[in-house]
């Protein structure tokens, strides 16, 4: 009887351990791939995560499986962040923070390099999911800012998407992230509405 009671708890603990190991592996892969690209070995990912290579292979039997999981995880996190930001910040700040979060997504995509491009060719539904969700999220954030009077009414989501595409296509360099952040700050300065004048200056 006691064994029957304890078994679900033991199974639940194993599942929790497995989830933690998976999250640690994805975090390690995200860090190493952003730094080293696909030159990062799976052994290095496992070592950084503090687990054995066997644990990595149980979660991700192939490099392609790790690439897909990391890409999905990054996209899901970005879209979840958009909802959280909209609920907690003024619309213009939500858009600004979302664009800065998108730099993490870009850095991961750049780190995955050819492996991601090959995966997209083999699994076009992954690209279709991103193309269906990301532009729509940007459009929603822009429209919320316009409706609240915080974003200029002639702004278009396509302007933001074009700017983000330009940052993604910029040459790789050690200061890419810093410069991309500066560009996004300048972009938001242009997107925000100007404060209303308080009156003519006195003579």
Distance of alpha carbon 5 from alpha carbon 97, whole angstroms: 47
Mean pLDDT computed over 131-154: 94
More confident residue, 145 or 18: 145
Do 62-194 and 9-61 have the same topology in CATH?
Answer: no
Mean pLDDT computed over 196-203: 42
Mean pLDDT computed over 70-92: 93
User: CA quadruple 47, 53, 54, 55: dihedral positive or negative?
Assistant: positive
The predicted pLDDT at position 14 comes to: 75
Q: What is the DSSP string of 95-164?
A: HHHHHHHHHHHHHHHHHHHHHHHHHHHH-HHHHHHHHHHHHHHHHHHHHHHHHTTSB-TT--HHHHHHHH
Using CA atoms of 75, 81, 86, 87 in order, give the dihedral in degrees to the nearest 10.
140
The predicted pLDDT at position 144 comes to: 97
Number of DSSP helices (H) and strands (E) in the chain, helices first = 8, 0
Each domain of the chain, given as residue ranges in start order, spans 9-61, 62-194
The pair phi, psi for residue 192, each rounded to 5°, is -70, 150
Q: What CATH number labels 62-194?
A: 1.10.357.10
The predicted pLDDT at position 202 comes to: 38
Pick among 3.40.718.10, 1.10.10.60, 1.10.3720.10, 3.40.309.10: CATH of 9-61: 1.10.10.60
The predicted pLDDT at position 63 comes to: 86
User: Over 90: is that where the pLDDT of 15 sits?
Assistant: no
Q: Per-residue pLDDT tens for 108-142?
A: 888 777 778 887 888 888 888 888 889 999 999 99
Which among 127, 15, 101 is positioned nearest to 7, based on CA atoms? 15
């Amino acid at each position: 009887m006691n064994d029957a009671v304890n078994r679900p708890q033991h199974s639940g603990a194993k599942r929790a351990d497995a989830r933690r190991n998976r999250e640690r592996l994805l975090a390690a892969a995200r860090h190493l791939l952003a730094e080293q690209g696909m030159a990062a070995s799976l052994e290095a990912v496992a070592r950084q995560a503090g687990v054995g290579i066997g644990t990595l292979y149980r979660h991700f039997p192939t490099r392609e499986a790790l690439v897909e999981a990391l890409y999905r995880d990054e996209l899901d996190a970005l879209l979840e962040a958009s909802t959280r930001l909209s609920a907690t910040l003024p619309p213009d700040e939500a858009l600004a923070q979302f664009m800065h979060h998108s730099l993490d997504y870009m850095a991961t995509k750049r780190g995955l390099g050819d492996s991601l491009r090959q995966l997209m060719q083999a699994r076009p539904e992954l690209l279709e999911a991103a193309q269906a969700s990301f532009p729509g999220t940007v459009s929603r954030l822009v429209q919320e800012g316009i409706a609240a009077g915080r974003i200029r009414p002639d702004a278009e989501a396509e302007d933001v998407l074009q700017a983000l595409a330009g940052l993604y296509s910029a040459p790789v360099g050690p200061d890419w992230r810093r410069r991309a952040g500066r560009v996004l700050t300048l972009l938001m300065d242009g997107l925000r509405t100007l404060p209303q004048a308080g009156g003519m200056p006195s003579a």
